[in-house]
């Protein structure tokens, strides 16, 4: 059995049921459309399958978003502390590669959820232990030393923010 279809562009497509087998639920029109693409654009079956698989893979990758829905900005009070005592080393353009590899606060929103949680734990720890800002840095810029109040605020924020992120809020 042979049938033909004429597309609006004037292209005539001849379809033979004996040459193409398809399952009943698969729409007949879709098969015609794919075959028309083969004829019109010279697209090979492998290219079509590759495009379809690539599209499906892209959709799967885009569906993995591990950022919490209510992603919040760093509070102004915490942000001002970080800018005055941390950004010199932990931001783009800083001279310390080691510090930039540890954390870059200006890229905070780009970090994955798991990385943020880990960094918050580390930040809280180094602040509590008095390791940040480093003594060597404070020799040159003593005004950047954190007060006890600032340390407390930072440590409390790291704990609260970490808990919030783990709950997915």
Q: In the listed set 14, 38, 63, which residue is the last one of a domain according to the structure?
A: 63
- If one counts the domains in the chain, the total is 2
Task: Give yes or no: residues 119 and 153 share one domain.
Answer: yes
Task: Give yes or no: residues 36 and 81 share one domain.
Answer: no
Residue 109: strand, helix, or coil: helix
What pLDDT does 12 receive? 57
Task: Give yes or no: residues 84 and 48 share one domain.
Answer: no
Residue 45, φ and ψ in degrees, nearest 5: -60, -40
CB 110 within 8 A of CB 91: no
User: Does a cis peptide bond (omega within 30 degrees of 0) precede residue 44?
Assistant: no
Q: In the listed set 63, 88, 108, which residue is the last one of a domain according to the structure?
A: 63
Q: Is the pLDDT of residue 147 over 50?
A: yes
Q: In the listed set 63, 92, 108, which residue is the last one of a domain according to the structure?
A: 63
What pLDDT does 95 receive? 82
Q: Is the pLDDT of residue 28 over 80?
A: no
Q: Is the pLDDT of residue 7 over 80?
A: no
Domain encompassing residue 125: 76-167
Task: Give yes or no: residues 144 and 105 share one domain.
Answer: yes
Question: What spatial distance separates the first Cα and last Cα of the chain, rounded to whole Å?
Answer: 61
Within-domain flag for 70: no
For the whole model, what pTM was predicted?
A: 0.57
Taking only the tens place, the pLDDT of each residue in 62-98 is 655 554 444 567 889 998 999 999 989 998 888 888 8
């Amino acid at each position: 059995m042979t049938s033909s279809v004429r597309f609006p562009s004037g292209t005539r497509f001849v379809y033979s049921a004996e040459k193409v087998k398809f399952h009943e639920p698969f729409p007949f029109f879709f098969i015609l459309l794919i075959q028309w693409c083969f004829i019109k654009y010279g697209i090979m079956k492998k290219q079509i399958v590759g495009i379809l698989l690539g599209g499906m893979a892209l959709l799967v990758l885009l569906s993995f978003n591990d950022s919490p829905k209510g992603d919040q900005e760093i509070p102004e009070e915490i942000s001002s502390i970080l800018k005055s005592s941390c950004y010199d080393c932990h931001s783009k353009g800083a001279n310390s590669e080691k510090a930039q590899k540890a954390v870059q606060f200006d890229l905070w929103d780009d970090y994955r959820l798991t990385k943020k949680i880990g960094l918050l734990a580390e930040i809280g720890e180094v602040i509590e232990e008095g390791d940040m800002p480093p003594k060597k840095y404070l020799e040159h810029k003593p005004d950047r030393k954190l007060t006890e109040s600032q340390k407390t605020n930072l440590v409390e924020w790291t704990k609260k923010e970490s808990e919030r992120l783990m709950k997915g809020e």
